[in-house]
Amino acid sequence: MRSEGSPLLLKIAALACVAFLHVPLLLIFLYAFTTEEKSFQFPPPGYTAKWFGIVWERQDIWDAIGLSVKVASIATFLALILGTCAAAAISRAKFFGRDHISLLFILPIALPGIVTGIALRSAFGIMDIPFSTWTIVLGHTTFCMVVVYNNVLARFRRTSGSMIEASMDLGADGFQTFRYVVLPQIASALLAGGMLAFALSFDEVIVTTFTAGQQSTLPIWMLNELIRPRQRPITNVVAIFVIAVTFVPILAAYYLTREGEHTGGTGK
Amino acid sequence: MTTAVSFQNISRYFGPVRAVDEVTLDIAEGEFFAMLGPSGSGKTTCLRLIAGFEQPTSGHMEIFGVTSEGVPPYQRNVNTVFQDYALFPHMTVLDNVAYGLMVKGVDKPTRHHKAQEALTLVALGSFGSRRPSQLSGGQRQRVALARALVNEPKVLLLDEPLGALDLKLREQMQVELKALQRNLGITFVFVTHDQGEALSMADRVAIFNDGKIVQVGSPEDIYERPNTKFVADFVGSSNVLSPAFSKSAGGPEKWASLRPEKINILPAKVKPSPGQQSASTKIVAVHYQGSVTRLNTRTVGGETINVTVPSSLGKFTEGDEVMLHWPQEALHIMAGEA
Amino acid sequence: MSLTRSISNFLFKHPNGFLTLLLAPPLLWLGIAFLGSLSVFLFHAFFSIDEFSGFIKYEFTLSTFAELFRLSNFDVIIRSLVMATAVTLASVVIAFPFAYFAARYARGKWKALFYILVMLPLWSSYLVKVYAWKLILAKEGIISWLAGELHLTWALDALLAIPVIGGPSLSISFLGTFLVFVYVWLPFMILPTQAALERVPVNLIDASSDLGGTPAQTFRHVIFPLALPGIIAGSIFTFSLTLGDYIIPQIIGNSSYFLGQTVYTLQGTAGNIPLAAAFTVVPIVIMGIYLAIAKRMGAFDAL
């Protein structure tokens, strides 16, 4: 390891990048307390906490949050099952077409979200499926599944394959091996994948605009506010709420997978 | 004597690759049996066939007289010590050892008692509450051993179990494993690519090459009387001599092996005593190795012969002409062709 | 024998059956919900729209694809490509120093902190990020204020006066759109670049300077080539995401259309599904080519 410090210029460039990434998010906190209603004036002319109370009273926001939570919960649940199955199959065996199938599994996030959204929209149109919670869930599960798949697959790759053989060798059948060896090994990866999937679904807007119809999830509500700003201070408060709801699972997922690196043997 | 494991024309193909090719083999009960060969020679696949992780493509195999094709690993009375130990990182050492008993439905006090006994057997009695990650390589190896033995297997399979240990620990474990096998009387099947390990521990050794067994025999047999060039070359560092050389040295015109340590050295032109075979050579390289010195010599015919002599014998230099001689019986004529 | 044991035995004897059982649910889901609807939709590109009735004519034709090359449509494609390229290049320039610093100089706790500092903006709400920039770039927002405080308003005005990329305010200009794109996709560039740099062994750098390489030469001939697969991996994201996005240009920019918006409008208000499908083929083809090149350059191992 080299002992000398980093060049000053490099340090400045790196810090500037950190500032670039984080200052915009911090500004939102500031704006949530502004007294200015009509514009994005900086610096804010005055400060107030009243907007939080006003948001609390708004039924349309609560409804949007409710729908978002419902969709994210169902989509995460389905994604956990589908993503784990896919990861287990891909990690477990070499079979014909394995590479193509693994490519298919990451395609929903490799292709722009608009492609997934528009494809689903036209399919709903052709099959005369009316928009409902389930049409949103259908779209979200498609990409949430990929997140779970990636997380669980990474864990499977880190855990020694001989562990499963050792369990069977000691007399455990497939179910016992799954319960006592596989599940404990992948539990934290499942939890992390589930949390990220939840955060992703809770925040998703591109696919949702195509599959929601007249329904309003929280991001759709925000998008409408962005295109036609009517209630700027309220949007600020909702934005803070969204940041809070997504940060918690992201940080938790980070710590879970980091923990996993210690128990799962070799790191990345 | 009961046959513990029996292979009858067993083959295992992976696509076009013949990992195991028409192997026929009997391992007796209570035997310490080593499978020795270079990597990719099929020895590990044979072990996995016994464990049940692989199924034979063709042939018939029995474990203690019971047909084992199609029997899953969890229904075989056979246990494995894995090369990477495969300890469960999320369980304590005691739970690891008790795992086999737990999945068989043994109640908690009994299985913990037995697991504790097994840990004591491998001198880790006080380590039960630790995690595998808190153990050294040698300790993990013992836990893996205890975890297999607690199930009282009829055959214990060991897949290069000492490979990850350093030299000193490896030598110590060789002695312990051998003693353990003697005391328990369990059939051990031991896979290794280290010939020293195989020769020092096993009752019988099978030499694998290209998916086939090329020779089975006692360590002495294998070492003293290799039946092919491959065995002579792989086990120890024997000189493999051409048929022409064998003939000129006074033997039959066949491939032969000659152990470096069986060769004596005399100054050039000195006639060896009667009943000895000889060859005059020139030293091409000298490797001083402490108590012994290895000499690479070459005959006029281009045959390379390595000789190991005690360093006390004197100083040798490159280019010296020397006379090699050895007792007639030391030149082992090999039956096999390849 | 218990039921679970019997099932286990059955699955053990039929490993392919077990594999099928695992693969079937996700494959069916993706096959039907994703690939199925995608191919049905894309197939519409081979149909055309009846100009009088506005209904889809279900007859095979390539005329819809030909329409892509009409000037107004081709403009959209070029504009999107230029934007995606510019965003990708800018991301490389901003991401590299950070990634290099985090990979080579940050240790222990600092390394973890840097990782979180990238992960948080990466995963945090896309809309919130866009919204934050609406606050920043607004005419009365922080940038104008900062320019005023620093007596640099003239510079900002000069910047906005540049034709094409400028506009009445940052939030109504290509410059603004570009900034937001870079901001939103930057973390996708940092992570793979940093991962690639982490894999450059320090002794290679020492070896290069030992052999007489100046820091600049070492960078050019050792560090950069080894980091390149990571950069390309990151560029897959920045390029693809910019190409397909239709929300950012809608909120921040001068109402010129990009690919995503065009597709969105065509299938929505305009109701021209065939042309929307033909437009959707464009980013898919571009990304196909891009991925093929990236794969050849070894970027997939850096993902």
For B104, nearest residue in chain A (alpha carbons): A171
Q: Average of pLDDT values for B58-64? A: 94
Amino acid sitting at position C283: P
Closest CA to B316 of B283, B289, B291: B283
Asked whether residue C91 falls in the same domain as residue C132, the answer is yes
Residues C121 and C42 both lie in one domain: no
Q: B4-18, B116-130, B167-181, B268-282 — which is least confidently predicted?
A: B268-282
Percent above pLDDT 90 for chain B: 52
Interface contact B70-C8, CB threshold 8 A: no
- A vs B: CB pairs below 8 A: 72
Say if A234 falls within a structural domain. Answer: yes
Nearest to C128 by CA among A72, A31, A51, A142: A31
Q: Which residue of C has its CA nearest to B73?
A: C12
Domains recognised in chain B with CATH numbers? 3-233 (3.40.50.300), 240-333 (2.40.50.140)
Domain-embedded: residue A113: yes
Are residue C35 and residue C175 in the same domain, yes or no?
no
- Residues B87 and A163: their CA atoms lie apart, in Å, by 7
pLDDT of residue C2: 79
Chains that touch A (3 or more CB pairs under 8 A): B, C
| Partner residue facing B90 (CB), from A166, A171, A184 | A184
> Nearest CA to CA, how far is A264 from chain B (Å)?
7
Q: In chain B, what residues touch A166 (CB-CB under 8 Å)?
A: 80, 82, 86-88
Domain count along chain C: 2
- pLDDT at position C180 over 90: yes
CA distance B138 to B129: 17
Torsion of CA C154, C158, C159, C161, to 10 degrees: 140
- Confidence check: pLDDT of A259 > 70: no
**φ, ψ at B162 (rounded to 5°):** -100, 0
For C256-281, the pLDDT digits (tens) are 888 888 888 888 777 788 888 888 88
Which candidate in C29, C139, C189 is best for mutational testing of the A interface (most A CBs within 10 A)? C29
Q: Which whole number is the average pLDDT over A71-87?
A: 94
Q: C13, B74: Cβ pair inside 8 Å?
A: no
- Average pLDDT score over residue span B50-63: 93
Shortest distance, CA C137 to any CA of chain A (angstroms): 9
Q: Do C33 and A138 touch (CB under 8 A)?
A: yes
**CA angle at C178 for the pair C175 and C180, rounded to the nearest 5°:** 110
Structural domain includes residue A125: yes
For B217, the token pair is 């025999």
In this predicted structure, the answer to whether residue C129 has a pLDDT above a threshold of 80 is yes
| Residues C185, C38 share a domain | no
Does residue C117 carry a pLDDT above 70? yes
Give the β-pairing of B32-36 and B204-209: parallel
Q: Which chain A residues have a beta carbon less than 8 Å from that of B104?
A: 171
C-alpha span between A188 and C192 (Å, rounded)? 23
User: What chains are in contact with C, requiring at least 3 Cβ pairs below 8 Å?
Assistant: A, B
Q: What is the mean pLDDT of chain B?
A: 89
Mean pLDDT, rounded, of chain C: 84
Residue C147: band (very low, low, confident or very high) from pLDDT cuts 50, 70, 90: confident
Residue A264 has pLDDT above 60, yes or no: no
Q: The tokens of B117 are what? A: 């006994």
Distance CA B307, CA B260 (A): 4
pLDDT of residue A170: 93
Domain around A258: 58-263
B80–A163: do the CB atoms touch at under 8 Å?
A: no
Residue A206, in any domain of the structure: yes
- DSSP code per residue over A127-183: TTPPP-HHHHHHHHHHHHHHHHHHHHHHHHHHS-THHHHHHHHTT--HHHHIIIIIH
Pair (C98, C39) in one structural domain? no
Give the pLDDT band (50/70/90) at residue B211.
Answer: very high
The CATH code of the domain that includes C128 is 1.10.3720.10
- Mean pLDDT is lowest, of A23-37, A94-108, B203-217, C14-28, for A94-108
Question: Mean pLDDT score of chain A, rounded to an integer?
Answer: 82
Q: Tell me: pLDDT of A3 over 50.
A: no
* Minimal CA separation from C138 to chain A, in Å: 7
Lowest-confidence pick of B29-38, B328-337, C86-95: B328-337
pLDDT score for B336:
64
Tell me, yes or no, whether C109 and C205 share the same domain: yes
pLDDT confidence of residue A138: 92
Average pLDDT for C165-187: 87
Residue A127 sits in a domain whose CATH number is 1.10.3720.10
Query: Taking CB atoms and an 8 Å cutoff, what residues of chain C touch B72?
Result: 8-9, 12-13
Q: Kind and range of the H or E element at A190?
A: helix A183-203
Contact with chain A for residue B53, Cβ under 8 A: yes
The answer to whether residue C58 is domain-embedded is no
Using pLDDT thresholds of 50, 70 and 90, give the confidence band for residue C1.
low
Q: Per residue, what are the HEC states of chain B?
A: CCEEEEEEEEEEEECCEEEEEEEEEEEECCCEEEEECCCCCCHHHHHHHHHCCCCCCEEEEEECCEECCCCCHHHCCEEEECCCCCCCCCCCHHHHHHHHHHHCCCCHHHHHHHHHHHHHHCCCCCCCCCCHHHCCHHHHHHHHHHHHHCCCCCEEEEECCCCCCCHHHHHHHHHHHHHHHHHHCCEEEEEECCHHHHHHHCCEEEEEECCEEEEEECHHHHHHCCCCHHHHHHCCCCEEECHHHHHHHCCCCCCEEECHHHCEEEECCCCCCCCEEEEEEEEEEEEEECCEEEEEEEECCCCEEEEEEEHHHCCCCCCCEEEEEEEHHHCEECCCCC
pLDDT, position B116: 95
Contact A172 B99 (CB under 8 A): yes
Q: How confident is the model at residue A166 (pLDDT cuts 50, 70, 90)?
A: very high
What is the band of B106 on the pLDDT scale with cuts at 50, 70, 90?
very high
Contact at CB, B79 and A169, closer than 8 angstroms: yes
Q: Is B55 on the interface with A (CB under 8 A)?
A: no
Which residue has better confidence, B74 or C167?
Answer: B74
pLDDT surpasses 50 at A262:
no
pLDDT reported for residue C300: 64
Which chain A residues are Cβ-neighbours of C135 within 8 angstroms? Answer: 24, 27-28, 31, 40, 42
Residue C52 maps to a domain: no
Residues in B touching A264 (Cβ below 8 Å):
89
Residue A2 has pLDDT above 50, yes or no: no
A27 lies in some domain: no
Residue B171's pLDDT is what?
A: 87
pLDDT at residue B45 in the model: 94
Position C85 in a domain: yes
* pLDDT reading at C12 higher than 70: yes
Distance from CA of B160 to the nearest CA of A (A): 14
- Residue A103 and residue B279: Cα distance in Å, rounded? 66
Q: Is residue C270 part of a domain?
A: yes
- The single residue listed with the structure tokens 């099928």 is C20
The total number of structural domains in chain A stands at 1
Q: Is the pLDDT of residue C286 over 60?
A: yes
Residues 6+ apart with CB under 8 A from A163: A181, A185, B86, B88
Residues in chain B whose beta carbon is closer than 8 A to a beta carbon of chain C? 70, 72, 74-75
Q: How far does Cα B98 stand from its chain's mean position?
A: 30
Structural domain range at position C252: 67-302
Residue with tokens 């389930």: A134
Model confidence band, residue B192 (pLDDT cutoffs 50, 70, 90): very high
C30 and C150 fall within a common domain: no
pLDDT(B261) > 70 = yes
